[in-house]
Copies of this chain bind each other. A is one copy, B any other.
Amino acid sequence: MNYKLNDIPERSVKPRQKGLTMVMDKGLSLRQVEDFIEVAGVHTDIVKLGWATSFVTPNLKEKLAIYRSAGIPVYFGGTLFEAFAIRNQFDDYCRVLEEFGMEYAEISDGSMDIEHEEKCEFIHKLSKQVTVISEVGSKDATKIFAPYKWIKLMKAEIEAGSWKVIAEAREGGNVGIYRGTGEVREGLVDEILTQIPEETIIWEAPQKEQQVWFIKLIGTNVNLGNIAPAEVIPLETIRLGLRGDTFDYFLNKK
C-alpha cells in the first residue's frame, strides 16, 4: 500500500483460498497482459481465457508464458470443454490441456445438455490431470433451477473432485444467480450458503453492484469471478471500504 490508513479490513494474501479474484481475459494482447499484471497482478488469483476465445487467440503459448512467469494460473473457459465434449472429443481436450501445459481446467454445462452424472464423471477424470473448477448454472436465461437443485449439483461436483464451484453469470452478469436486470437472486444465494462452504464457491460478479452486494454479504474476502481486467483495482478498493459503495459499511461494522 502506498500510505497508511487505519482500520482497513484485513485482506487475505496470495496464494489465497478465500478472497479470490478471478479475472476474465477475452482477448488481451501480450503487451496488454504485461500491463494488466503490472497493475493488478498482485490482486489477481487466477485468470480465465473467456469461453472458447483461446481457439482464435494468437500467440497463445506466449500469452500463457507471461501469466505463468507472474505466478498467475490460467485456465480455458468452460465453453471450450463443452465444445470438445459435445463433439465427442474429450480425449482431444485432455491432450490440448497437456500440450499447453495447463494446470487448471473448467468443466461446465452452461451451453449444452448433459446428464449430471456424466458431468461429474468428466470432473472426476479430469481432476486426475489438473485442478478442476466446475460451473453450475445455465447460460440460457430461461433455464432457472430451484435453490435445492443448485445445492445438490454443487455438492455432487465438489465430491467428484472440483476444487471450487463457480456460480454462473456470464460476462454480462444477467443469468444464473442474477435476474435479467443484473439483480442478485438473494434468496438463492442465501440458501446455497446454508449448505456449501462459502470459500468453495466463486461468484461470477462482473457488475459493480453485484460485487458490492457479495462483499456486504460475505465480507472483504469473498471469492469473485468474471472481473474485467480494468476493474480489478476498483474491486480491490471496494473490498477495502475505500470506494463510496462500501465506505461506511466497514466503518460501521467495527
The chain B residue sitting closest to A236, CB to CB, is B56
Bitwise, A78-113 to B at CB < 8 A (1) or not (0) is 011011101101001000100110000000001110
- Listed stretches A33-41, A144-152, A178-186; interface member: A33-41
- A59 CB to closest chain B CB (Å) equals 7
Pick the residue among B86, B139, B233, B247 that contacts A83 (CB under 8 A). Answer: B247
Residues of B within 8 A of A54 (CB): 2
- A101 CB to closest chain B CB (Å) equals 13
The chain B residue sitting closest to A52, CB to CB, is B242
Q: In whole angstroms, what is the CA distance A240 to B80 when docked?
A: 12
Decide if A28 is an interface residue (CB 8 Å cutoff): yes
Residues of B within 8 A of A51 (CB): 237, 242-244
- Copy number in this complex? 3
The chain B residue sitting closest to A4, CB to CB, is B92
B242:A83 contact, CB within 8 angstroms = yes
- A237 CB to closest chain B CB (Å) equals 5
Given A5-B89, A29-B36 in contact, is the A53-B234 Cβ separation under 8 Å? yes
Residues of B within 8 A of A26 (CB): 230, 233-234
Q: In whole angstroms, what is the CA distance A30 to B100 when docked?
A: 30
The chain B residue sitting closest to A27, CB to CB, is B233
How many of A's residues come within 8 Å of B, CB to CB?
64
Bitwise, A182-217 to B at CB < 8 A (1) or not (0) is 000000000000000000000000000000000000
Pick the residue among B7, B35, B40, B87 that contacts A7 (CB under 8 A). Answer: B87
Bitwise, A156-193 to B at CB < 8 A (1) or not (0) is 00000000000000100000000000000000000000
B29:A242 contact, CB within 8 angstroms = no
Q: In whole angstroms, what is the CA distance A87 to B4 when docked?
A: 11
B244:A111 contact, CB within 8 angstroms = yes
Q: In whole angstroms, what is the CA distance A237 to B56 when docked?
A: 7
Residues of B within 8 A of A79 (CB): 242-244, 247
Q: In whole angstroms, what is the CA distance A5 to B35 when docked?
A: 32
The chain B residue sitting closest to A234, CB to CB, is B26
Decide if A129 is an interface residue (CB 8 Å cutoff): no
B242:A60 contact, CB within 8 angstroms = no
**What are 6 inter-chain pairs, A to B, with CB distance below 8 A?**
A29-B38, A38-B59, A52-B240, A56-B233, A56-B242, A110-B244
Q: Which 7 A-B pairs have the closest CB atoms?
A: A27-B233, A52-B242, A29-B35, A139-B244, A111-B247, A111-B244, A3-B96
